[in-house]
A and B are shown apart, each in its own frame.
Chain A
Amino acid sequence: MKTAIAVLTVLAVMAAIWYAACVPMNIKGVLDGAERAGVEITPATARERREMSALGLVADNSFAISEVWSQDRPRLPAPHQVAVELWQTTVEKRITSKRSLIYHGQVTLSATLLGFVIGTGLGILLAVGIVHSRVMDMSVMPWAIVSQTIPIIALAPMIIVVLYSIGVQGILPKAIISAYLSFFPVVVGMVKGLRSPDQMQLDLLKTYGASTGQGFWKLRFPASMPYLFASLKIGIAASLIGAIVGELPTGAVAGLGARLLAGSYYGQTVQIWSALFAAAILAAVLVALLGLIERRVLKRMGVQA
């Protein structure tokens, strides 16, 4: 309860700061518009206004303040403008419409999920290999760690062009970038998890005469679940970033990344912000969903009381 109040207070303060920030950010645009409409403004020309600080303009033209939250193309849209745009582009549009965020969201989401499944599958396989083969552990693992320090996003445009040139396009190139980004968190977490049973437990299985396969399925695999889910949560957020960034360099026409790019080309700030919030909500939902699955799975396995 205390936490809820604190969180709500912080959110309210952030919203208040946001609304306040709109005033200096948007005042120049509002005044330019008012000048064209024939309203008298204190420094009369746009050139003079450019010299002045935003706060000075606000002080001189306090009548214009009410306008800063309802501009068409503000530098900083007010929260309610973003909310209205989100509502209009999700609920009020048919989901097949090119302007529907649900349509764009599902384009990005399908690439994210496909990539996530591929990345997780390969990651688990590699982790199993690393745990069971000393050669793989010693030769692949250091490179997996080094690759974490490389901005893999830099590969994104190239992967897309290369795949395009051999005839692969659409969802798969983006999914490959997503897979790449979710791959390494899963490998690292899964290796840690599969190694988490201690020597005593492994020895016990040996005294039972269990085979390597039995040891894997009955001990190592269940023991790795908490680690796996922790990695999956990181991995799915990374997947979504991969899918969004994968849409940037090719000038894709659909998807949240395409929406961001188009908004940036045409100065449609409200569109950028609503796409950003849609991406944030999508990420939050995906992580929360994994958290839910985690809790159910771990409960069935008796990990948590």
Chain B
Amino acid sequence: MVMVILAILIWCAGWWVNSRLANSVAADTRAVKLAVPIIFGIVVLIVWELLVRGLEVSLVILPAPSLIVTRFAASLPILWQDFQQTILKGALSGYLIGCTAALLMAIAVDRSDFLRRGLLPVGNFVAALPIVGTAPILVMWFGFDWQSKAAVVVVMVFFPVLVNTVAGLRETSAMQRDLMQTYAASYWQSFFKLRLPAALPFIFNGLKISTTLALVGAIVAEFFGSPTVGMGFRISTSVGQLALDMVWAEILVAALAGSAFYGVMALFEKTLTFWHPSQRG
């Protein structure tokens, strides 16, 4: 009971501190902008810990954060193996193949008006479908190992990147394209000097959306069969053994990997599209 009251008190205290910070004069400084979400996150973790212990929630239902961290630290080798199998081999290789294929396809689509008219509506349509359902088929074709996961990822990231890139390559105005023509620029000159740079914000939008899709594809594909290693495999077997602290540890890995992956893409975007209005200031 003490812990529950403590949890409520800490929640109120955290909220009070945050509202003071958010409504103070210094609210627009970088430090406060960082501090407020961090305080919120820490308060949520503490309240979670106190409530689980105070209400004696069974470990099976919701493990306390401290237990998850302990489990995380204790099973680093296993988590590292799973990380290698699912993220490095499955998600990353699939992501590279899928995005490269989509970019090349987008250039082909952009060169031909007929393809753009025909393929783009189809691509838009396919991008909204539950492509993750192709996982059982691809696992059947490419076997249980990481190749089939990479194949699922290729299929999942292909259309978002394609659709965004094609939209981006159309981004330049007719005036700009005409100007390149008056310079007697060849297709590839105007492509690399004008249209590709103009398309970059769109391309990165597609690439950033695809980071999450890649992880989802690799993890879900493992539900349909996998070697005895991998994050999806570990999650489904740990759930079967009711080892939920292990599941949370895997989720922590997935969260860290997903955020890092997204962060890397955002960093690339920032260095390559520093000139774009959305990146200034």
Contacts and interface: CB of A to CB of B under 8 A. Distances in A.
Given A161-B239, A279-B130, A154 B250 contact: yes
Contacts, number: 170
A161 B261 contact: no
A150 interface: yes
B121 interface: yes
A233 B115 CA distance: 26
A210 interface: no
B18 A151 contact: no
A249 interface: yes
Given A75-B141, A279-B130, A284-B129, A9 B118 contact: yes
Interface string A138-175: 11111100101111111101100110011000000000
A249 B236 contact: yes
Interface in A1-40: 2-3, 6-11, 14
Q: Is the interface of A mostly helix, strand, loop or mixed?
A: helix
Given A154-B254, A272-B137, 17 more contacts: A3-B121, A7-B118, A8-B118, A134-B19, A138-B32, A139-B39, A146-B259, A150-B255, A150-B259, A153-B216, A153-B220, A154-B231, A157-B236, A237-B128, A249-B223, A264-B225, A287-B128
A138 B33 contact: yes
A283 B114 CA distance: 27
Interface in A227-271: 233, 237, 240-241, 244-245, 248-249, 256-257, 260-261, 263-264, 267, 269
Contacts of B143: none
Contacts of A166: 61
Contact of B128 (A7, A142, A284): A284
A142 B37 contact: yes
Contact of A149 (B117, B134, B225, B262): B262
8 contacts: A135-B15, A154-B235, A155-B251, A158-B235, A158-B251, A166-B61, A264-B139, A269-B137
Contacts of B258: 149-151
A151 B219 contact: yes
Interface of B: 15, 18-19, 21-23, 27, 32-33, 36-37, 39-41, 60-62, 114-115, 117-119, 121-122, 125, 128-130, 132-137, 139-141, 211-212, 215-216, 219-220, 223-225, 231-232, 235-236, 239, 242, 244, 247-248, 250-251, 254-255, 258-259, 261-263
Nearest to A108: B130
A9 B119 CA distance: 9
A244 B224 CA distance: 13
Contacts of B239: 157-158, 161, 249
B37 A138 contact: yes
Nearest to A276: B133
A126 interface: no
A275 interface: yes
B132 A245 contact: yes
B259 A154 contact: no
Contact of A138 (B36, B122, B235, B248): B36
A140 B220 contact: no
A46 interface: no
